[in-house]
Amino acid sequence: VNLDSQDPAFEAGLEAWLSSLPNDVLSSFDEVIRRSPGYYPTTLRDGWSQRLKDLDLQPIPSRSELDGADLLPVGHPLDYDWRFTEETREFLLSQLNEATQPGELIVYLGTPTLFIAGSSALPERRHLLIDANHVMVEAARLRLGEDAAVVARIGVDEMPANVAAAACVLDPPWYPEDSLHFLAAASSMLGMRGAAFLSQPTTATRPGIETERVALGDALPSLGFRLDAVRPRVLRYVTPHFERMSLLGAEPALVAPNDWRSGDLLRLSKIDASGQGALPEMEHLEQWHEVSFGPVRIKLRDVGGEDLGLLEPNLDRLTTVSRRDPRRAEVGFWTSGNRVRALSHAGPLAELIAVCDAELRNMTFTHTTIANLAPTFSFDQSVAHALTEILLLEYQEHVAGGYGVIG
Ligand SMILES: C[S@@+](CC[C@H](N)C(=O)[O-])C[C@H]1O[C@@H](n2cnc3c(N)ncnc32)[C@H](O)[C@@H]1O
């Protein structure tokens, strides 16, 4: 109960003060609270929300919301979310700056952090992000507005039509079929002589890269591209939380620098309007349901097996993050800390985790609460116990990894 608002004269004073503010100030709660003569924040927030509703005004996201989200959401292995280092973003933005003119459009395929940096560093250019990861697209929209970013799965969904970009940056998952689909999407959106900047694995990434690179080169003409230059190892990536956790699991004593992963940059030109070669199927785009527990992201699906049971004895998390790991097919529960489990009841578990998340936000998350709730979702006590242990461990690891902001 808000005691302030039970006093009609006080309430009328607040309303009068709010109506004295111009609309551009009123839309931002940050500005309103900065000018407030001393109203208690919750009282002010109530009056302010009502006033916005009366005037049909849209609120501007508050700085505290943006600061809280300044740290981007943690990456998940299923999104292949390897993010560029700051130096690499600056390097790529200088390349994009040179390749484009003011007013021209840059399309970012699977490069959300570069898109966020580019939108503020190159304000005279137009920017469009296309990415399958709705969590990162939401984070981009929070900073840059609704229209700048599109959630779409390249190789599966239709790409936006009538886009004539001057340049395009592509950072697909490092597998041949993904690269081909990303290139086909880029080709459909670039104007003639448009520049494409494509990230590819270095030869040291895994066996067979040389052969894959030759095949990619052979496919370029049918996609409408010419290869202009290859710059080996100029791209650098920050080790994502899930990979750090895998490394830690595999080799606790090994301390790798945070930017050990490098990539090659291929510069291409769009020279042929016709190009759309035959493309391999994108079979690996499985359907997952996502839930979160504070900063922890969890993807769920039904694969069978014991709920939250280990895939193999002692296999708490995958020790590699390769798509080629045959155990992936048995995973039904997969955290952003790379913990994997079997799962037969993804729907009820998602609901139970949503309750756990609400309890965490309330600071009332305990094992007893979950143990009492589990039967409602038809889970026995062993599942309640396993879930509590995983969530608490993951939460601590995410906080230690710098992902302490809840949601
Ligand atoms: C290797 S990460 C690149 C991130 C980039 N280095 C950055 O810092 O902005 C791959 C990105 O491609 C996205 N992605 C993967 N497969 C995709 C697909 N089929 N369609 C659209 N986006 C996809 C992922 O969500 C992820 O953001």
Report the pLDDT value the prediction gives residue 21, as an integer from 0 to 100: 95
| Average pLDDT for runs of 10 along the chain of length 407 | 77 95 92 90 90 91 50 91 96 98 97 94 95 93 84 92 95 95 96 97 93 96 96 95 88 84 97 74 80 96 96 88 84 96 97 96 92 95 96 94 69
Residue ranges lining ligand 1, Cβ < 6 Å: 79-84, 110-114, 131-133, 136, 153-155, 171, 173
pTM: 0.83
Which helix (H) or strand (E) segment holds residue 313: the answer is none
CA 133–ligand 1 middle distance (angstroms) = 7
CA 89–ligand 1 middle distance (angstroms) = 15
Q: Dihedrals φ, ψ of 385, to 5°?
A: -65, -50
Cα–Cα nearest to 174, from 296, 263, 295, 277: 263
CA 367–ligand 1 middle distance (angstroms) = 36
d(CA 243, CA 338): 8
CA 398–ligand 1 middle distance (angstroms) = 21
Which helix (H) or strand (E) segment holds residue 233: the answer is strand 225-238
3-state secondary structure of 197: strand
d(CA 364, CA 112): 34
Contact 201, 209 (CB under 8 A): yes
Nearest-CA residue for atom 9 of ligand 1: 111
Report the pLDDT value the prediction gives residue 274, as an integer from 0 to 100: 62
Cα–Cα nearest to 216, from 266, 173, 269: 266
Nearest-CA residue for atom 24 of ligand 1: 79
Q: Dihedrals φ, ψ of 200, to 5°?
A: -140, 155
Report the pLDDT value the prediction gives residue 145, as an integer from 0 to 100: 79
Nearest-CA residue for atom 12 of ligand 1: 110
Nearest-CA residue for atom 5 of ligand 1: 111
Report the pLDDT value the prediction gives residue 68, as an integer from 0 to 100: 41
Report the pLDDT value the prediction gives residue 42, as an integer from 0 to 100: 83
